Amino acid sequence: MKSKLGGEATSPRDNQGMAENKIITRVLASVQQLDAQTWNVLLASQSTPTPFMRHEYLAAMEQSGSATPDTGWIARVITVWDGDELLAACPLYIKTHSYGEYVFDWAWARAYQQHGLPYYPKGLLAVPFTPVPGSRLLARSQALRVALVHAVQAWAAEQQLSSLHLLFGDADDLAACAAAGWMQRSTVQFHWTNTPPAPPAAGGTATTPSRWKDFDDFLGSLNQEKRKKIRQERRKIRAAGVSFKAMQGSDIGAQDWSFFYRCYERTYLEHGNPPYLTPEFFASMASAMPENWVMFIAERNGQPVASSLIAISALQSMISASKPLFFEDGQAQAAINSKVAYGRYWGALERVDSLHFEACYYQPIEWCIANGFARFEGGAQGEHKMARALLPVETPSAHWVAHPAFADAIERFLQRESEGMAQYVEELQSHSPLRKA
Could you report the per-residue pLDDT of 341-366, keeping only the tens digit for each?
A: 999 999 999 999 999 999 999 999 99
pLDDT of residue 55: 98
Q: How far apart are CA 327 and CA 304, in angstroms?
A: 44
Query: Does residue 25 contact residue 78 with C-beta atoms inside 8 Å?
Result: yes
- Helix pair 254-270, 279-288: axis angle to 10 deg: 140
pLDDT of residue 329: 47
Q: What are phi and psi of 393, to 5 degrees?
A: -135, 130
Q: How far is CA 72 from CA 42, 257, 327, 345, in A?
A: 28, 26, 37, 22
**34-43 pLDDT, tens per residue?**
999 999 999 9
Instruction: Report helix, strand or coil for 433.
Output: coil
Query: Does residue 41 contact residue 318 with C-beta atoms inside 8 Å?
Result: yes
11: pLDDT strictly greater than 70: no
What confidence tier does 368 reach under pLDDT thresholds 50, 70, 90? very high
What confidence tier does 21 reach under pLDDT thresholds 50, 70, 90? low
pLDDT of residue 2: 37
pLDDT of residue 314: 73
Query: Does residue 389 contact residue 433 with C-beta atoms inside 8 Å?
Result: yes
What confidence tier does 14 reach under pLDDT thresholds 50, 70, 90? very low
Mean confidence (pLDDT) of the chain? 89
Burial of 268 (C-beta count, 10 Å sphere; 0-12/13-18/19+): middle
pTM of the predicted structure, to 2 decimals: 0.90
pLDDT of residue 18: 46
12: pLDDT strictly greater than 50: no
Q: Where are the beta strands (DSSP E) in 72-220?
A: 73-82, 85-95, 122-125, 138-139, 163-167, 183-193
Q: How far apart are CA 322 and CA 330, in angstroms?
A: 13
Which value, to the nearest 10 degrees, does the dihedral of the CA atoms of residues 94, 97, 98, 100 take? -80
pLDDT of residue 380: 83
pLDDT of residue 345: 96
pLDDT of residue 3: 40
**66-118 pLDDT, tens per residue?**
999 999 999 999 999 999 999 999 999 999 999 999 999 999 999 999 999 99
283: pLDDT strictly greater than 80: yes
Strand 293-300 relative to strand 122-125, pairing? unpaired
Q: How far apart are CA 66 and CA 78, in angstroms?
A: 21
Q: What is the mean pLDDT of residues 270-296?
A: 96
Burial of 143 (C-beta count, 10 Å sphere; 0-12/13-18/19+): middle
The candidate with the shortest Cα–Cα distance to 381, out of 368, 397, 395, is: 395
7: pLDDT strictly greater than 50: no
Characterise 379 by phi-psi region: left (phi > 0), alpha (psi -120 to 50), beta (else): left
What confidence tier does 422 reach under pLDDT thresholds 50, 70, 90? very high
The candidate with the shortest Cα–Cα distance to 315, out of 60, 87, 41, 132, is: 41
Report cis status (omega within 30 of 0) of the bond before 69.
no
- The three-point CA angle 290-133-179 to 5° equals 135
Looking from the CA of 384 toward its CB, the CA atoms found within 13 Å total 8
In this structure, is the dihedral angle defined by the CA atoms of residues 176, 182, 186 and 190, taken in order, positive or negative?
A: negative
207: pLDDT strictly greater than 70: no
19: pLDDT strictly greater than 90: no
Q: How far apart are CA 160 and CA 143, in angstroms?
A: 26
Instruction: Give buried/exposed letters for 257-267 (b at 16+ CB in 10 A, else e).
Output: bebbbebbbeb
Q: How far is CA 58 from CA 73, 201, 275, 334, 411, in A?
A: 12, 46, 18, 24, 31
pLDDT of residue 428: 93
